[in-house]
Chains A and B, each alone.
Chain A
Amino acid sequence: MTVHNLYIFDRNGNCLYYNEWNRKKQAGISKDEEYKLMYGMLFSIRSFVSKMSPLDMKEGFLSFQTSRYRLHYYETPSGLKFVMNTDLSVSNARETLQHIYSNLYVELIVKNPVCSSTPSLDSELFSSRLDAFIRALPYYSPRAA
């Protein structure tokens, strides 16, 4: 049971924050390319999902899974995108991502006068609180399942 990594994108596609806890295999491309790839994929899959949905769509794309991991997606009304990869034992990380947004991002970045004029996530306070929060999650353990 574990969290592998977390990305935070702003509404223009810039990756504001990335951290990994338990990633055994890298993508084999540079970090910038990886962020672009992730954002591009999310953009395409969201528009695909809304076009092909056989019913009226409520929240759209939420997550996908492979045989080894699950990717969870949460988008705020302000266009901020939270992407978290966990292993398969975590079925719904939406509340976690919402908590990261409202209690960590809003409190420590938006309300930080130094950080909020240009959304840069340099704040050490944010990094350390986020790290502590992820490690305290009931489904986190340092070793992947």
Chain B
Amino acid sequence: MHKQKYRVHPRKQSTSYVVANNNLTGMADDALFEFLHMEIVSHIYKEQQSGKGEMDNKDRAVCVSVLEGMGFRVGQGLIERLTRDSPSFKDELDIMKFICKDFWTKVFRRQVDNLRTNHQGTYVLQDNKFSMLTQLSSGKQYLDQAPKYLAFSCGVVRGALSNLGMESVVTAEVSVMPSCKFQVVIQKL
């Protein structure tokens, strides 16, 4: 695999980079968001920490909820755009399948690997190569940093579900990167 990847004309480095990443819509789109997301997370944590020496759990919770709130608004907008052309959904499970396939593909560039449910409003979505975590590590290194980079994505999922008519609570859990489990609990009002 590596042999074909590095056969490149030195001056055409940027095009080879695009091909090597199989991203024919343009490398800049994905990288732009990735860097922006990294900056957003770092900015929010720095702001929360300014003035104090250490961050306690309350500060961390504030940061996570700010990121999640941002993701919520983004998810709401995204779902309006993505479901423009789809038919209406039959039931909850149908919506969750849409999230796992089409939505996940558009937003995270792959499909959810495994969807489990207890048929009583709780769903677990497992993504074995979650796109926000693949550059971090493949294993246990930096595990404690992972939640920072998942908060926004949790919000995106919650926002998408909210505009599809389902209020929910979305949390994420990681034990071995880059595999990640999102738990969605539908709130019955």
| A and B pair up | yes
Main secondary structure of the interface of B (DSSP, over half): helix
Any chain B CB within 8 A of the CB of A32? no
A125 to B176, CA, bound (A): 13
User: Given A95-B8, A114-B145, A125-B137 in contact, is the A103-B20 Cβ separation under 8 Å?
Assistant: yes
Q: How large is the interface on A (under 10, 10 to 19, 20 to 34, 35 or more residues)?
A: 20 to 34
Which of chain B's residues 121-168 have a Cβ closer than 8 Å to chain A?
135-139, 141-142, 145, 148-149
Interface: A89 (CB within 8 A): no
Segment 30-70 of B: residues with Cβ below 8 Å from A: 31, 34-35, 37-38, 41-42
Residues from chain A with a CB closer than 8 A to the CB of B38 are 111, 113, 116
Given A123-B141, A138-B3, also A114-B136 (CB < 8 A)? yes
A14 at interface (Cβ–Cβ under 8 A)?
no
Per the 8 Å Cβ criterion, residues 91-144 of A in contact with B are 94-96, 98-99, 102-103, 106-108, 111-114, 116-117, 122-125, 128, 133, 136-138
Contacts of B3 in A (CB 8 A): 136, 138
From the candidates A98, A107, A128, A136, name the one contacting B135 in the complex (CB within 8 A): A107
B6 partner residues in chain A, CB cutoff 8 A: 95-96, 98-99, 103
Q: Which residues of B contact A112 (CB under 8 A)?
A: 135-136
In the A-B complex, the 5 residue pairs with the smallest Cβ-Cβ separation, listed nearest first, are A99-B6, A113-B38, A111-B135, A124-B141, A125-B137
14 A-B pairs within 8 Å (CB atoms) are namely: A95-B6, A95-B10, A103-B6, A108-B135, A111-B31, A113-B37, A113-B38, A113-B41, A113-B135, A113-B136, A114-B145, A123-B142, A124-B137, A137-B2
